Structure 1
Amino acid sequence: MPSPSDLDKIVLSYLQKKGYKATERIFLKELEPEPIEEPAEEPEPESSKTNEEIDDPEAYDVSYKSLREWIENSLDWYKPELRSVLFPIFVHAYLDLVSKNLSKEAKKFMETYKGDHVELHTPDLNRLATVTDAQHVRENELAQIYRSNKYNLRMSSVPFELFLNYLQDNKFMLLLRIVNQYLNIQVVHGKLLNSAGGLETDDVIGITGHESQQIEAFNQQPVQLGQPQPDPSFKEELEQALKDKDNARKDEMADQPFQSDYLPLLSTYKKLKQDSSVERPAFGDIPLPPYKGTDLQAEIDSLEDVAKRIPLGPSSLPSICCYTFHNTHDNLNCVTVSKDASLVAGGFSESFIKIWSLKGEKLRALRNAINPAHVNDYADLNRQKERHGSDYKRLVGHSGPVYGVSFSPDNKYLVSCSEDKTARLWSTQTFSNLVIYKGHNHPVWDVDFGPFGFYFATASHDRTARLWSCDHITSLRVFAGHLSDVDTVKFHPNSKYLVTGSSDRTVRMWDVQTGACVRVFTGHTGGVKTVAVSPNGKWMASAGEDKSIIVWDLSSGKRLKCMTGHTDFIYSVAFSADNNVLVSSGADCTVRMWDVNEDSMDTATPLISGSDTKRMRMDYDLDKQKKAVTESREHLAVFPTKYTPIYDAQFTNRNLCIVAGAFCPPKNK
C-alpha cells in the first residue's frame, strides 16, 4: 500500500498532467505546513489583451476569416445583411496593417480576401492596392476618405445583435474597435424597406458623398445580347428552301392569281437576324452540333409562326389557355408545356414524371422486348412501339422528389432534376431514360434547356448553377457566387448567357464560355424564385417571395420598373413573343398581365376598358380572402382561378398564353 507521501505525489502528478492549475495550487497549500507565499495571479487587464491582439498581425487574418466563415454559415435570411459589414472591415483591417508598416502581411491579406468584394467594389480595391506603406495611408485620397468618415450601413435588429454578440463572445476586440470607430450601423426594426415599399436605395450605404461603385461599375462589362450570327451555309440553304417552296407553289397555281407566301418569310428572317441595335455574338462563339434537315424545317416553321403572330399590347391582350391538374394531393412540384403546346409534363414528390399529350393522341412507348439491332430509322422505331398506347406516360428513375422539368426546343427530349442531386435526360419518342447527370452535391431545384437544344443548365441547393451538354455526363461549367440556394435558372435567347435567381435576393447573369459573372441585380426583398428574358434579349424580369416583379435592362444592369399587384409568392413570369406584354402567376391563384413596352417604361399606362376584364377585376376585388394591395400602373388585367395556384406561365411563338397549375381546394372544403 503506498504511503501518504506517495499518494500526494500521484495526485499532484495527475493534476499537473491534466492542467488543473488552480486545484494544484490549493492542493499544495494544504500540503505545506506554512502558507505558501506566492503572489496572487491577477487577471490580465482587458486593455492589455486588446493591445496584444492589435499588435499581432495574424489577429487580423484570424478574426476576419472567422467572421467571414460565421457569416457564410448563418441563416440565409440574415446573410445578405450580415455580409454588408465585411467590406468596410476588410478595408480598415488592410489599412491598419499598412499603417503598422506590415506591408507583407497587408499584401497577403488583400490577395486572400479581395475576391469577395470584386463584384461590388473593384475601383476602390484597385486604388487601395496601391497603398503599400504608412506614408501612402496619410497621402492617399481614398484612404483618407475611409479613415475620416464613417461607413454607413443599415441592418435589422436581429442580425445586428447576432453580429455584435459574435464579436463579443469570441473577444474579437480588434474587429469591435473597427466597428466602433469606422462604421455607422443604423438598426432598423422590421424589413429594410423604404417609404415606397421597395428595398432601401444605395444612398444610405457606404460613405456619404463617395461613389464606391456598388454594382454600377461592375455591370458596365461589355455583353453581346443580340441573336448569334447565323451559319452562312445554313442561311443559304434556308433562303434556297424558301425560294423552292415558293416556286413549287407557283407552279401548282399556274392558272390562278398567285401571291408569294414564302418570300415574306425570307424578309422576316433577314430582319430578325440583322438587328443592329445590340451587339451579336459571332458565328461559332457557342459551339453547336452540325445542323440537320430537321433544323431547316424547324426554322421555316418558326418563321411561319412569326408571320401569324398576334401583336399584343394594352388594347390587345392575349388569349389564355389554362391546364388544371386534379387529384394531385399536393404532390405536383413543377409543370411545363412544350413550346408548340403538344406535350405537358409534371414532376411529382413520389419521384416520377408524368407526360400527357395535348393533341388528344395516345402516347406509345417501346414494347418490353425489342432488338436494338433492328432499329435503324424512325420507321423501325415506330414498329417497335406499343400498338395502342395510353393517355399518359410515367417516367420512373429518380430516387427523390422531382423539382424541375424542361422540354428541348424540338420536343424530342425532356430533362428533369430532383432532390436526389441528379438531372436525367428522357426521350419523348420512347419515354425512356437516356442519361443520368451527376455533379451537384445537394438537391437540384431547377433545370432549363437551351434555346438551340444540346445544352441545358441546372440550379441547386449547393449555391451553384451548372452548364451541361447532352453528350457529356459531367458539367461543362460551374457558376459559383450566390450566397444561398440557386432557385431558378434561364438561358438568354442567344445561349451565350445564363440568368440565375437565388434565395440571397439577387439575380446574376453569367457568361457560359468563361463561367464569369457579368451582371449582378439587387433590389428584391425576398428570395427570387423565377426569372425570364425577353425574346429580343434586352430585358429580364425577376420575381419571387417579395410579391413584386422587377424588370431590368440587361445592357446597363439598371432597374427599369418595379410592378406590384400579386398578394402571394410569384411562381412564374414570361415575356410575350413580341416583347410587349409580361405574364405572371403565383400562389395567389391569379394570372396577371403587365405592360413592358419600351416606350412606356417611364410613363403611366392606363388599364384597359374591356367589359370582360372589368367584370373579372370586380369579381376579384370582391373576394374577401385576398389581401388588398396597390396595383402598379403597368398592370393590365388579372385573371383569377378559383383554387388553382399557377405554377407555370409561358407564351407560344404565336402569342397564345399557356398556364398550368394544380387544383388545391381549401382544407375546410
Structure 2
Amino acid sequence: MEEEEIEKAVIAYLKRKGFRQTELALQEEQSKNLSTTKTDPDIAKQILSFSEVESVPARYREGYSTLRSWTYNSLDLYKHELLRVLYPVFIHCYMDLVAKGYSQEARNFFNSFREDHELMHLRDLQKLEGVLSPSHLEENEFARSLRHNKVNIRICQYSYDLLLQYLQKSESMIMLGIINERINFRVSPGQPGSFTDDADVVSLMGSSNDIAKQVNQKEVHWGLLEDSIEEQLEKAGLATDVEKTEGESKEGDLEDNKKRSAEGGKSGTLAKKVKKDKIVGATGKSIRSEASTVSVAPRVKSELALPVRSTEVEQALLEDLRNRAALGSSALPSVSFYTFINTHNSLNCSTISSDGSLVAGGFSDSSLKVWDISKQGQQVKSYNAEGDVESAHIEASAGLEGKRPYTLFQGHAGPIYSAAFSPLGDFILTASADSTVRLWSTKLKANLVCYKGHNYPVWDVQFSPVGQYFASSSHDRTARIWSMDRIQPLRIMAGHLSDVDCVQWHANCNYIATGSSDKTVRLWDVQSGECVRMFIGHRSMVLSMAMSPDGRYMASGDEDGMIMMWDLSTGRCVTPLMGHSSCVWTLAFSCEGSLLASGSADCTVKLWDVTASTKIPKAEEKGNSASRLRSLKTLPTKATPVYALRFSRRNLLFAAGVLSK
C-alpha cells in the first residue's frame, strides 16, 4: 500500500507537468492490481523512465538539498525518523550519477554531503568512495548489494504521512523515483521510536532482516555436553553432600518426625521438603547456586567424535573445578595482566594458556614467541583494586648476551594475526597472512602440521573446548572447521558478505559463531555446515566474541566499542553493553557465567554483570532503559590496549596487551 501512495504522488506531479498519457497508463495499471497487495514492478520502471527527463547532475543536487532542508526543519518529535530516509537517498543519488557517467559530479556531490552520515555509516562510506565508474558498481560488493536490494526503513505512521505530503508537493521527479524504487517503508502505528532504535530500523542489505527472521526459526540445542566435567563434578558433589548430611541429620529427622506425629502431624511431604533443604544447606553451598547457570543448563549429545581424556587429565580438571572461586557482582575476580614491552609495534596478537603459565605473541615478522611464566623469575608489581590486579612485564626482544626469555617458533611466510592454545596448553595454533594455519607443540618446541585451504589471509583461529578440532576464519569470507589429524577442512561455512574477522566455538562443540566485517554474527551447525542463526544489530565490523559457559548466551564486540549480548535460543539481542570508547578486541565469560570481561583498544578492562543483563527484557517492557547498562568495574591500564583475556578454570582472570607509547 505504501508504494501505491507514493505512486499517487507521482501521478499528481505528472498532472502538473502535463503528462496526461502517463497518468492514464498508471491509472489503468493500478486498476488491474486493486485486488492484490503487491504492485507491478513495471510501474517503478515507468516512474524511473520519466524521471530521466530531469536526470542531470544539477537536478540530483537540487532534489537532495531540498529534501535535506525539509527534513532538518521538521518537528523535533519526528525529525530523527525522517532523517533515516536521507542516507539511502544520498547513496543512491551518488551511485546513479556514477552509473550515468558523471564521475566528477558524483565525487563533488559525495564530498558535499558525506559529513551528514559519517557518524553512523563511516565504514559504508569508505567502501563507496572508491566507486567512480559504472564498472565499479558491479565490481564493488557493497554497491552491488545496494543496487540489487531495497533498503528497509521502519517509520511511524505520522512521519510517513509527513513524507508523503512533502513528496506530493515536491517538484523533483528524481527523489520520487529513488524513494519508490529503492526504499521499502515498514510503517508502524503509534508514536515514533526512540533514538536508540536507529541501529535496527535501517537495513542496508535490503532483505537481510527477512533472511535473518527465516534463519532464526531453526532449532538450536544450546545446552552442555552429556557427561561433561561440570556434570561429573555436580554428581560427585551431590552424592558427597547427601551421604554427609544423611549421617549428620539422621537423629534430628527422627526427633522431628516424633514431634510432628505427637502434634497431630503434618503430611509426609513436609518432612521430605525439610530433609531436602538440609541437604542443600548443610555445607553452606548449593550445587545449583543462583550465580551459576551451568548446572541448570540442559544436556545434549555431541555431533562430533570426541577425544578420550586420560584419568590424570580428568582428575586435574576436577581439582580445578573444586577450587574454583565463586564470582558475582559482590565478588570480582583477581586479574593478572601481562604487558609486552619493546615490541617495536610488531605485535599483532597474543594469547594465554588456560592456567596462565604460558603467554604467546604473534608478530609481523612471521614469528611466534612463547613465554613460560612459571619458570621466569620476573618482578611482579601488584596493586589492589577490589579485583586485585597484578601486572608483569614481558620483554619481547632478546635479552643480554643473546639469551632469549622465550621460545621462538618460525615457519610462517607472513605476519601472524591470531594464536590459540589447546585446552591443556600442549599445542598452539597460529593463523597468518600466508593463508595457512600451523600447529605447534609447546613440549617439542616444533611445528607439527601446516594446514592449507584458505585462499587469503587467515584472521582468526580457535581450538574447540575439547581440543582435537579447531576453526579458522579468513579474508576469503569463509570459516572452516578442521581436525588436528587431517590436513583438509571438515566443513566450510560460506555466507558472509565480507571478511570473517573472528570465530568462536559453542560450549557443546556442536556450533561455531563467526563475526564479520558485514556487521553480522552468524551461528553455524558443525555437522551440517548450515547457518542456524543470524544476528543483526552491530553498526561496525565484529572483532570479538565469547560464549557463556552454559551455551545459552553469546557476547560480540565491534569496532565502535559496542558489546551485544545475544540469546541463542531466540536469536535476539538481550542487551547492548555500552561503555568502551574504542575497538573491543577480546571478550571472556567467567566459568560459572555470572561475569563478562571485555578488553578494548581504549586501554581498559571492563567487568559486566551478566546475571543482571540477561533480565533486561522484563525491564524494557516497563519502559525502563536505564538498567540496560550494568558495568561493575573498569580497570584502566596506563597505556596498554588489551589484546587478550582468559578466565582460568579456577576463575582467575588473565589479560595481556602491548605497551603503546
SS of 1:200's equivalent? Answer: helix
Check the 8 A contact 2:237/2:287 in 1, yes or no. Answer: no
Tell me the TM-score normalized by structure 2.
Answer: 0.60
Q: How does 1:249-648 map to 2 (within 5 A)?
A: 280-282=299-301, 285-289=303-307, 291-293=308-310, 296-360=311-375, 391-597=405-611, 600-602=615-617, 633-648=629-644
Partner of 1:612: none
Q: How does 1:165-244 map to 2 (within 5 A)?
A: 165-169=97-101, 181-184=180-183, 196-197=195-196, 199-202=198-201, 213=210, 215-230=212-227
Q: What CA distance in whole angstroms lies between the structure 1 residues aligned with 2:99 and 2:35?
A: 30
Check the 8 A contact 2:481/2:491 in 1, yes or no. Answer: yes
1:501-524 Cα offsets, whole Å, 9 max, x none, are 111111111111111111111111
SS of 1:513's equivalent? Answer: coil
Residues 226, 182 of structure 1: CA spacing in aligned structure 2 closer, same or farther, 3 A cutoff? Answer: same
How much does 1:655 deviate?
1.4
SS of 1:201's equivalent? Answer: helix
1:464-501 Cα offsets, whole Å, 9 max, x none, are 11111101111111111111111111111111111111
- Percent same amino acid among aligned pairs? 38
Q: What CA distance in whole angstroms lies between the structure 2 residues aligned with 1:440 and 1:509?
A: 20
Q: What CA distance in whole angstroms lies between the structure 2 residues aligned with 1:287 and 1:400?
A: 33
Tell me the TM-score normalized by structure 1.
Answer: 0.59
How much does 1:148 deviate?
9.8
Q: Aligned partner of 1:342: which letter?
A: S
Check the 8 A contact 2:559/2:584 in 1, yes or no. Answer: yes
How much does 1:214 deviate?
5.3
SS of 1:300's equivalent? Answer: helix
How much does 1:240 deviate?
10
Residues 168, 395 of structure 1: CA spacing in aligned structure 2 closer, same or farther, 3 A cutoff? Answer: same
Q: What CA distance in whole angstroms lies between the structure 1 residues aligned with 2:355 and 2:526?
A: 27
1:617-652 Cα offsets, whole Å, 9 max, x none, are xxxxxxxxxxxxx99631111111111111011211
1:382-412 Cα offsets, whole Å, 9 max, x none, are xxxxxxx963100000011101000111211
Comparing 390-399 and 496-505, the one that deviates more: 390-399
Q: What CA distance in whole angstroms lies between the structure 1 residues aligned with 2:231 and 2:610?
A: 32
**Is the aligned partner of 1:653 residue 2:649?**
yes
Q: What CA distance in whole angstroms lies between the structure 2 residues aligned with 1:153 and 1:517?
A: 31
SS of 1:556's equivalent? Answer: coil
Residues 330, 288 of structure 1: CA spacing in aligned structure 2 closer, same or farther, 3 A cutoff? Answer: same
- RMSD of equivalent CA atoms: 4.5
Q: How does 1:37-76 map to 2 (within 5 A)?
A: none
Partner of 2:142: none
Flag the structure with higher helix content: 2
1:114-144 Cα offsets, whole Å, 9 max, x none, are xxxxxxxxxxxxxxxxxxxx9xx95985645
Q: What CA distance in whole angstroms lies between the structure 2 residues aligned with 1:212 and 1:335?
A: 35
Rg larger for: 1
Residues 645, 222 of structure 1: CA spacing in aligned structure 2 closer, same or farther, 3 A cutoff? Answer: same
How many residue pairs were aligned? 449
Q: Aligned partner of 1:224: which letter?
A: H
1:448-478 Cα offsets, whole Å, 9 max, x none, are 0011111111111111111111011111111
Residues 206, 513 of structure 1: CA spacing in aligned structure 2 closer, same or farther, 3 A cutoff? Answer: closer
Q: What CA distance in whole angstroms lies between the structure 2 residues aligned with 1:642 and 1:403?
A: 25
Q: What CA distance in whole angstroms lies between the structure 1 residues aligned with 2:422 and 2:375?
A: 21
Instruction: Flag structure 1 segments of 5+ consecutive residues without an equivalent.
Output: 1-87, 89-133, 187-193, 248-263, 363-388, 606-629
Q: What CA distance in whole angstroms lies between the structure 1 residues aligned with 2:576 and 2:350?
A: 27
Q: What CA distance in whole angstroms lies between the structure 2 residues aligned with 1:408 and 1:414?
A: 6
Check the 8 A contact 2:473/2:503 in 1, yes or no. Answer: yes
Q: What CA distance in whole angstroms lies between the structure 2 residues aligned with 1:591 and 1:273?
A: 22
